[in-house]
Structure 1
């Protein structure tokens, strides 16, 4: 079979299976099997599928994924995450402090948890009812929390950057450190969005807020664990003391101690964190295994290489190629969630970006920001439905979508900044080397 027949056949069959409601991991595997049978017998393909499944679950690098997920769940089930929002909200006596505190809390949570959905759920579960009680506009409240959850995806450790590094064979440490400055720029951009929103629609931000200051010991019990966990992860990876997997293991163990010691974690909460991690990894494990099988079929038929050669034969400008790829991901992000997109499309896209002359560490940051846009765009924007669910009828999906639009604009502006000044992402990794 020709490579383009395989590529179109895989894509068409995959979209058909997803459209009829088959879960994405099973759709990926089912789409791969007919083409796998063209090169292997039925019995051999069964063995190959089993080896791909087993290979994912024993991969040393991938052990970091359940550890980071578990870490985030522990913080969410204890009082550390919610108290972080309360501290930033109550400790800053300015107009709009609850909105700014939400952004700060999401950024702080992102420094110890790599999941956008967990970040939105943990901080949003506390912040959204409080912001609505204080009189903030529904769209601002929902938008700032849905968008704030995306900070967990860019500020290291990031699961999307971790998956990107695995698929493209790039340094996880370099990818993590490359996300730091863009992450801080994005926090600043979100703060500016809230500031401008307050000027244009002053009725959405109350003039005064009824909030008591936190006691000093509670502040220490809130900020201390976040700083300590973030410091352990950062220093261990970037000082060369530990690999990302080892750093995740030490940080997870430290989080267990801190969650029980100062975070008020109960045994019931601990069990819920374990089961939540198992449910997440059950899905991710199947998705990773199916993605590896899908990638094997693509690679065997040389679809990525042939696609790259075809694309480059049009002699397009590298930036035109980049714009086409970004537009493709923004449209695709309306229908697929980021992890699925990573394993379905990246094996084909990243050789094209490398051949076009783009640094793959830099593109990893741009790609991750594009994935942040994906979780904010309907009809499959995960963070939109998380925040709507937290709102319990007080906030509609329309309120969340409209509230996110200015923050999506900030994400697009950050991509433009990275294109104009690639050093925004590359300067810090260069210095670390």
Structure 2
């Protein structure tokens, strides 16, 4: 079979299977099998499929994924995450402090957890009722929290950057450190959005907020765990003491101790964190395995290589290629969640970006920012439904979507800045070498 027949056939079959409601991991595997049978017998394909599944589950680097997921679940089910919001809200005595505190808390949570949805759920569960009680506009309250969760997938550790590194065979440590400056810049841009919102819609931000100050012990119990966990991850990886997987293991163990010691975690919460991690990894494990099988078929038929050569034959400028790829991801992000997009599309897209002359560490950061837009765009914007769900009927999905629009604009602006100034993402990795 020709490579384009395989590519179009895989894509068409995948869309059909997803369209009839088959879960994405099973759709990926089912779309791959007919083309696998073209090159292997039925019995051989069963063995090779089992080997592909096994290779994913014993991958040393992938052990970091459940550990970081578990770490985030522990923080979300203890008092550590919610207290961080309370500290930032009560410690910033300016108009709009609850909104700025939400951004800061999401950024802080992102420094110890790599999941956007868990970030929105943890901080939003505390911040949204408080902001609505204080008199903040529903669109601003929901928008800032849905968008704030995206900071968790840019600031290290990031699950999207981790998956990107696995698919593209790039350094996980370099990808993590490359996301630091863009992540801090994004938090700043979100704060600017809140400031401008307060000028245009002054009624959406109350003039004064009543909040009791925290004691010194409460501040230490709030900031200390987050700072310590983040420090362990950063120092262990970038000091050359441990691999990302080992750093994740140490950080997860430390989080267990801190969550029970100062975070008020109970045994029931610990069991819920374990079960939630297992449910998440059950899905992610199947997705990773099916994605590996899908990628094997693509690679065997040389679809990524042939697609790259065909695209480059049009003699487009590198930035035209980049614009087409980013537009493709923004549209696709309306229908697929980021992890699925990573394993379905990246094996074909990243060789194209490398051939166009772009640094793959830099593109990893740009790609991750684009994935952040995906979780904020309907109809499959995960963060939109998380925030709408925790509002318990107080905020409609339409209000959440409208509230996210200015923050999506900030994400687009960040992509523009990264394109204009690539060193925003590359300077820190260069300094660490």
TM-score band (shorter)?
Answer: over 0.9
The 2-side partners of 1:202 and 1:56 are apart by 52
Encode CA deviations 1:269-307: one digit per residue, 9 max, x unaligned. Answer: 000000000000000000000000000000000000000
**1:49 is the counterpart of 2:49:** yes
Classify the secondary structure of the residue corresponding to 1:177: helix
Root-mean-square deviation over aligned CA pairs: 0.4
> 1:246 aligned to 2:242?
no
Q: Which residue of 2 aligns with 1:10?
A: 10
Following the alignment from structure 2 to structure 1, what is the Cα–Cα distance between the partners of residues 88 and 105? 7
Kindly state the Cα deviation for residue 55 of structure 1 after the two structures are TM-superposed: 1.0
Specify the SS of the correspondent of 2:9.
helix
Report the Cα distance in structure 2 between the residues aligned to 1:229 and 1:381, rounded to whole angstroms: 29
| 1:58 paired to 2:50 | no
Higher deviation after alignment, 101-110 or 41-50 = 41-50
1:205 is matched with 205
1:86 matches 2:90: no
Comparing 81-90 with 46-55, greater Cα deviation is found at: 46-55
Q: What residue is the counterpart of 1:408 in the other structure?
A: 408
2:326 equivalent in structure 1: 326
Report runs of 4+ in structure 1 exceeding 2 Å deviation: none
Matches within 5 A, 1:1-400: 1-400=1-400
What is the alpha-carbon distance in structure 1 between the residues aligned to residue 53 and residue 46 of structure 2?
11
Residue 214 (structure 1) shift: 1.0
Question: For structure 1, which runs of at least 5 residues remain unmatched after alignment?
Answer: none
* 3-state secondary structure, aligned to 1:149: helix
Gaps of 5+ in 2: none
1:371 and 1:406 mapped to 2: Cα distance?
17
Shift of residue 8, structure 1, vs aligned partner: 0.2
How far off its partner does 1:215 sit? 1.3
SS at match of 1:324: helix
Deviation of residue 409 (structure 1)?
Answer: 0.3
| Cα distance in structure 1, aligned partners of 2:239 and 2:32 | 41
Q: What TM-score, normalized to structure 2?
A: 1.00
Q: Take 1:10 and 1:214, find their aligned partners in 2: how far apart are those partners?
A: 57
- Deviations, residues 388-432 of structure 1 (Å, cap 9, x unaligned): 001110000000000000000000000000000000000010000
